[in-house]
Structure formats: structure tokens, C-alpha cells
Amino acid sequence: MKVFQGNTNEWKGVAILIVLLAFSLVQHPVALASAESSVDYVWATTHTIYHSSTGGNTVSCDHTLTGDVDAIGELQNSDDWMSSGDVVLAPKLTFTTTLPVSRVSEQYFVGHTDNRYEWVFPDFPECDDVIAGEVYFDPTLVSASYTLGFTIRRSVTPAVLDFPGGQQTLTVEVTPTEPAVGAKLREWIQVWVNPCATTTIIFMSAEVGDLDEFENGRVRWWLSGDTVGTTYTFEVTYEVYLGEGDGEVHYVPQVAAGSSFGEPKADVIGNAVTMEDEVGTWRWEADSEHTWGNRIYLHKWIEMKCHLCPLPLKATLDIDPDTLSLKSKVKFITCYIELPEDYSVEDILVKSVALTRINDASLTQPLHTVGPSEIGDHDNDGIPDLMVKFDRQELIRLLTVGHAELTVAGQLVDGPTFEGTETIRVIGEGKK
């Protein structure tokens, strides 16, 4: 079953978490079994997952997030030192929800009656894997407001790469701020790094943290035993291979991070265990007797979205006149545009060309070209240029005496954009 469908800039944390949680149970077991127990030990856990996304590079610990809610009921029959290694016979999971459900995991799902959902699994041998039922609540009716319990920042060097790619270093800073809450114990913080779609990352080196690398270009850090108020810095260097496009791009990989809180419960001996959390009641049953170690988890996640943005081509401008009088009555101002090598001014969409910025201020209403346009070689340098004109009187109303850096931008027929700047002198009198 596909856990999440969407484009490359949408939240993908749920798909990650299904794998993540399976690994978490293996690598961070909770030793609740009694040494005197005479029946086999299995792990039954519930997971409520809050997740949200942002396009920014910093999320503060005190910033309230609003996101979606998902839940998982898991069973692990581990072959670690805590288990005596018997088979769980005909395990069955039922979930009675208190929230509206939009969909569930389909494997081994047998149906539902009103708000009660049921999965029936085959006999489950001793192994490092898990079996699980997954529930996705209707995001139009159910949402979570929460704070992460940590501050996270990301930065990359360099932020701009040229096709077909290059080496980049990502730095992630995590500062835990939330201690244990009641009976819940913060057990770990995880940080994931994922490439943008159409790109490939090959990791070269990493500093700090318990690091796992995966063949699909995803990297994960564990942060356990962390100290509130201490900033932990994770750094990874990798090669980026851009799958398509041309020119320069601004590239920042996706970073997903989350904290996990576990609430231990007393072991239950028998053929069933029932667990209640904030989204409903989970019950595991089997035809065999076991000692059921159970814990209720809360996971709070944020996805910092991937950025893969083509940068404008660097155009060369020549604006005539280069000294402009605020008292001029002339109708037009002329601009000559040259493009970098391998690009032709013949491909410029003239209707897209506009004066978009004066100094550091973007124009609310860009000044588009007016009058005729023509391709030639104004400066006789052997490089063709496109001549366009702008309304001089409209521009004068936006200028003051001094120097003005004018930015002109536009688009080519096959999609790339371009941008160029030229500084002119502005005077209060004269005939120009």
C-alpha cells in the first residue's frame, strides 16, 4: 500500500515514519520483561504521529504547528536477548477510534464496523520485523496543534549549484527544549535527510551523531540521551547529481525531524493486551499465550521542504540613456539585453520582459515593455542583443535624484528565466 501520494514538495514524513518506527523498536527496545516470566515475550506498541511541513530553514521550539494526525499499532516478536523465540499464533489487531478515519493500511485488513477496524495476520515467527495496522485520520476534520520540543535549523554550503551538480555540505542544528512530560519519557530525536525528486545524493562523510546511511540517498541520525538546552550539530557532505535541467539552481535537501515520547505500561500475561491512547483503543489478541510488553508513543514531526529552484540566467544590460533627467519629456527609455553563451535572444518572450526592481525594492507592478523591439548588435561586440523599450514617464515617477540600479527580467520560450541589472544616474534637471 502506498502510504502517501503527492508531489515532491509535499509532506512525505508519513512514508518515512512507517520505516522509521519499525527500526526504532529494534534499536531501542524497552526492557520491561520480568526475568521470572514463564511465557514468551512480545512487544506491543501504539504510535500517534503529529506531522507538519514548512518551507523555511528554522523552526523554533515555541512555534505552534498545525498538522495532520496518523496512528499505528505494532507488534514485534523480537529475536534479541529478551525473547525466548516462540511463534505468535494467529495474531489479530482491532482498533476502536475516537476520530474520523479517512483510510487504513490494506494488508491483512479484514474490514470495519462503525468505528471498529480489524486486521488478521498469519502466524508471526520470532524476527526483527514488525506487523502493524496503520490508520490515517481525515485531515479535513482532524488536526493537531503542537510544539516540537526542540529548535531546528538547517543551512547548506554552497546554496547554489551549477548543472549537472556538485559537492554540498548540509549543517543541521538541533536544540532540545522539552523534558519528560508526566509519565512520558523523551526517548530520542531523529533527523532525516532526503534528496529532492529528479536528483541523487551520494553521501561522502558525516560528523556527530549515530548515523545510518541508506542506498536510496537518505541519511538518518539518532539523538538519544540528549540534554535540554544543548545544541547538537550534525554535518554531512555529499555529491548532488541533478537529474534534469540546465544552468544554476538553488538546492537544499529535505530535512525531516521528530521527537518521540514513550509511556511505559505494566506487562500483561495472557493471550491479549489492550492499550488506550489519545486516538482510540488498540487490542492485540493471539491463539498463544505471551508476556505482552506495551508502551504508548507520541511522535512530533516537522518536514523542512526540499528546494530545487532554477536561478535566472545572468543577462547583460545596456540602458540608454545612462543619465536620466526627472524633467525629461521623452516617451521611451531603451534597454539592450544580451544573454550568456549557448542562449539566443531570439528565444526571449518579449511580452515577458519587464523592469522588476529598482535598487533593492521589487516593484508591486513591474513595468512591461512598450513600443517596438528589435534584435541587433548595439555595442558591436559580435553578440546579438534584444532591444526593448519602457515608458520613460512611468519610470521617472519611481525615481529620485542619485543613482538607481534597475533590474530587468524575462523568460525564454523553453522555460528558463533571465535577469540583469544596470545602474543609471538620475538628475533633477537637464534635457536627457
Domains of the chain from N-terminus onward: 13-309 (2.60.40.1170), 312-427 (2.60.40)
The answer to whether the CB of 53 falls within 8 A of the CB of 302 is yes
Q: What is the pLDDT of residue 205?
A: 58
- What's the whole-number average pLDDT of the chain? 82
Q: How far is CA 408 from the centre of its chain?
A: 32
* Cβ count near 19 (within 10 Å): 14
Q: Residue 212, Cα to own-chain centre: how many angstroms?
A: 19
**Chain segment 89-125, per-residue pLDDT in tens:** 999 999 999 999 999 999 999 999 999 999 999 999 9
Q: Is the pTM of this model over 0.75?
A: no
Of 289, 166, 169, the C-alpha closest to 235 is 169
| pLDDT in the model for residue 218 | 67
Q: From residue 63, give the alpha-carbon distance in Å to each of 75, 147, 175.
A: 34, 6, 14
DSSP E strands: which ranges in 195-265? 199-207, 210-213, 219-223, 232-242, 248-252, 254-264
> What span, in angstroms and rounded, lies between the C-alpha atoms of 199 and 117?
39
Find cell 462503525 and name the residue: 114
DSSP β-bridge partners for residue 210: 222
Three-class secondary structure of residue 87 per DSSP: coil
Place of cell 530535512: 255
Question: Model confidence over 380-431: pLDDT tens digits?
Answer: 999 999 999 999 999 999 999 999 999 999 998 867 789 999 999 999 865 5
